[in-house]
Structure 1
Amino acid sequence: MASRKTERINRLIDVLQHATSRVPASVLSKILGIGERSVRNYVSEVNEQGQFRIDSSSGGYRLVATDRSNDSAFHAEADGQTTSGSLEDLESRCNYVLSCLIKASGPISIFDLAESLCISESTIAGSVMPQVRRILPQFGLSIQIHDYQIELQGKERDKRKLLGHLATHNVYGYFTSTKTLETLFPDFNVQGILSNLVEICQRSGLFINDFALSNLLVHLLVIIIRLTSNNELTDRDDIDANSVVSRFKQEREITRCAKSIATYFEGEFGCSIPDPDYQQILLLIALSIERYSYNELSIDNLSEAIDGEFVNTVVGILEDTARRYNLPNAIDDGMKLQLVLHMHNAYQRAVYHVSYPNPLASQIKQEYAPVYDMAVYLSHRFSVTYDIEIGENEIAFIAFHLGAYFERAAAPANSLSCIVIVEEYHDFARKLVDDLKSALSDDLSIIGVMSCDGYLASSPESDVVITTIDVPVTHGLKILIGPILTKQNLRKIRDRISDLLESRRMEKARLFLKSMLRPELFARNVYLDGDQDSYIDYLGNLCVEQGLATVDFIKDVHQREKVSSTAFTDALAIPHSIGGYSDSSFIAALHNDAAIPWGRHKVHFVLLIGIAKDEMAYFRDALDIIIDLYSSIDKTSRLMQTDTFEEFVDVFTQSIS
């Protein structure tokens, strides 16, 4: 990864780019985890480099030159390249060493590595190798160093996972995976290989969506790279891929595609494909294709490939998810079928150890947090039922499926009272009212039809006033339309009604949030030994002592954290339960000046949330409001400057008003 200084300068620029007002040095100091003097030094360094200009005043700092549209260095950086064109930062050096270790058939010299990187042996040993050692254990790998010779130790399957991780786990995911592989393995014509593989897949007659195709291609590239350096899969699973594929209606196409790829490998690279690798290719293709088009999907089709008990289990978990999040009418048959098929594919990927990275997972988690949280709940229930692991990438894909349906079902559905103002003219008035009732009966309850004079004389109260005359309205939302109800008029009415209902729904959530904050559940600058679990326990104990939650509830919060980190933004973590409820609804807040490591983030605020069962309907909207608040640099900056509970509540409640 990049040097800490580079990371902090990039973070400094990012904060100022997204701020709409000046950011004080004290706030930047806390966000970056450095002293105010260092902030001033970083600002001076940025200004000296000339790509940005940061203006300073007594009110803080602001970015005044951010147009980099013509900056070639910026575009090189966005394409995954280093701006200098050399391997000069720690991440590039670390990746280079890892790629050399993966390619090597035996030990490699630390002196050769230092010479290739144009750095000293001491820099390799003291800076690069510690970072390499931190990365390897998560893949079950290690390094052995003897007489200045370094060798990668571990199973072939784990080495391939590491290589796939290097290709796809960067800021831009699959969008730069090919460029990453080209950088790591310059001897390979990566783009040419990809073009041939795409052509083979297309000729096979299989439909593979863009995410699945990118994933498949990276996996196949990894296999080629390893086989050409004489590294075969020896630690095979007891999986008969032919048997798995035989249950697909596209069995012939899958087999033809796999054989074509194997033939291409052998002809292009002169390496035969061992059976374990061929089995892996078969599985990768089978678990990447779309088995049914939307129009083909039916219970009968699913029953040919999926056990009925599996279907019922997934549908049951889905219905429980809808009930927990107060969406009882959310599920239609189309959604059930789509989700069952997706969960079956996810189950197979988990069983057969086929990874499926999602390049948009972090974005989905932050921008669609309530839907992501539903996916976490559903995934956890599913993983416990079938004793498998469902990771954050799969959770994000499940959120795709849940999002459209649950967001639609969560739309405001309360009926509004309405008065219609229309002048009597033949049958036009009666027809207009009848058409309104017919088209909007689910959203509006028409409580009165009045002339202009009648309305002005009595000024009755209603939520909405639909009028064909531009009359002053004293109560309710005014919607001016023409005397003939056109499609454009109906669209206008529906949009305005939807906005009104959404506003009311969010106002209820805001009031709910304000009621949850308590001075006895507020802590400032509490630093604990240990990871995020210790902070959950600290805040949880405060809630238990106040009789708001139980020990079992806090255990449930820990379980939620294990499934997926609750750090939704760079400043904020929101630990909460995965299936349980608190005795009363509350927010226990911790605000630290120094950042708390929380998964891949470092946060300054921890809001432990408990929701009583009868108030669960507010949770989705409350979560949305909080994350929106902390996604704003300006609002977060104001919160960072608070010290007391009263100050925190004042800024918090003003920001969500």
Structure 2
Amino acid sequence: MKGLNPRQKKLIYLLVQNENYLPVSFYSEKLEKSSRTIYSDLDKIQKLLPKEQLVLEKKPRIGIQLRGTVEAKLQFLEQITGISTTAVAESQERQWLITKQLLIDEETVTQKMLAQQFHVSPSSIVSDLDKIIEKYRLALEPSKRGTKMVGSEEEIQNSLFRFCEDYLDYHGINPEELFQETTQELLSKLFTPSLVKMTLQQIEELKLQTEFCFPEHYVKSLVIRLLVFCFRLSRGQHIEEKDFLFDQIKLIDTYLIANELLEKIAKVHGFEYNEEDISYVNRQLVGYGVKPNTNGQKNYERYARTIQKILENMSEIMEVDFLADTQLAERFASHFVPMIYRLKMGIAITNPLVEEIRSQYAVTFSATRYALANTEEQLNVQFNDEEVALVAMYFQVSLEKSQNGKKILIVCPNGVGTSELIFNKIKRILPAQDTAEITTLDKLYRKNLNNVDLIISSVKLEAIHKPIIQVSTLVTQEDIKNITALYSNLFYSEESNEAEILEFPFLKNVIDLDFIYTQKRFSDKQTCLNWLIDRLEKKKVVTKAFRKEVFAREAIGETALATGVAIPHASPQNVLQTRIAIVTLDQPIIWDQRKVHYVLLMCIAKEDRNLVRGVITDIHKIVQSEKQLKCFFAEKDAIAIYNDISRR
């Protein structure tokens, strides 16, 4: 506009930028002119303001402020200066940049520093910070050095999520434009471009596959949530998962997707992640509506009979009618076809939960392995432990749903060894459908206890509103009685008997004195297995194919337990007679990187599938602790071992 010099145009720019009342001295300092000159400039600007839209308001001893809507201010600025409103670094843009410095760059800032950086007054910065706190629910902490971001990791990530959502919404990015180059460029102003590209690429690829449904209206939120989470992981920050394993397994459908997402992004960007990080991403997938696609049932017709057979086998083994659970059938079918594809193509998966599942759900895991083994020859695949563990969780969820098992936490602050001791003793007296899980004192107070039915602890617990039984570290007989009595009072209407003496109703019927070998010495597990299988073949207990399958299974999964025992096995079709062969070793051998003192080779014939669960349960009564193993096998001859088991 004619008649205005560059200084006066700059003054208009500053008036538009600053939303608060500021003294004339502020503007005179910025423009390096006297207050008298600024007053003169203001009078001239006042005459140019559009009537009824903008007012230059003056308050004595407070300052001056340009009053009006943002649109009117920007329109006036564009008219006066010729600068497009899109190029103006207005207050919104400034607030984004300040938020980025605090949330993403994790800087400590001062009002003076920000005022100088953005050429505005400190009071404008105070106003900006107030708006940032309100809009993004960001917690800030002032100190002598300045202001910095504070809060839990979950709170920080939630603030980051709101910030990114606001940023994309302002720029008009809708779900259809989410995977376009424009979005990538916008987000790359906030985060590392390669991380943005990889995150968008992974979600886009998942959207294109047909095995899972991705609700369109949630995809944008999911992208932001995953991007924020991976960015914070790259900074070494983790959100602790609030649920225990027995709650996490209910979300097993999408666990593999969560694992693959993190695995691919972490591989490119070199950050580390753990099981809890996978569980968190998995919970986000479920929360944003990602679920198996059950509409394309024609894709499963080819394997329908096989799936039915596995459900029948598991029903027979576990003595539970899994066929009646229609939800299980649908979920398992959705998982089955991709699993077979992975196995046929040699695509290995990583299942970080496999050790926990194998330990805490030993019976279900072993039963699943046997049920799947019956289909391996027909499908021309071999199921590894990672895949078996995933399938086992579908059945475990169904089992808990049908039998209403209790969720029990075992708390011990003195380390894993002590916790395992308590865990192994307590598991013996709990009903088979109950689930026990070990946790630390620290995690107990941080995690969600809503689904926990009972807590057993070796230390006194405060402010926990759940039934608690305190036991000694060694779990005495008196402790066992107390647990049994309280369990009975809590969950049974009738009185319960005292802890039962250990019995082996199934195992005693399948052991044979001819197949118990004591104090043998072998150089390695291969020599041991060959020696043992030679004797089984000679007595026509197994087929010639049994040996090859045992070694194939050893190659794809671990059969040695931490307690010092190995339990090798093969599928029922290569077993002619049901037997459990037992070997005690004069000296331990290395087996799956563990020292093994005892070997129990499981041979269960096809016609005896109904014995699998019982035999596995009985075996786990013995192998769950080193003390128990020594009690039954150490320094005993074959007759003593046979009598001890068969008479129970």
- Larger relative contact order (Cα-Cα within 8 Å, sequence gap ≥ 6): 1
The reply to whether TM is greater than 0.5 is: no
> Which category of TM-score, normalised to the shorter sequence, fits these structures?
0.3 to 0.5
Structure number with bigger Rg: 2
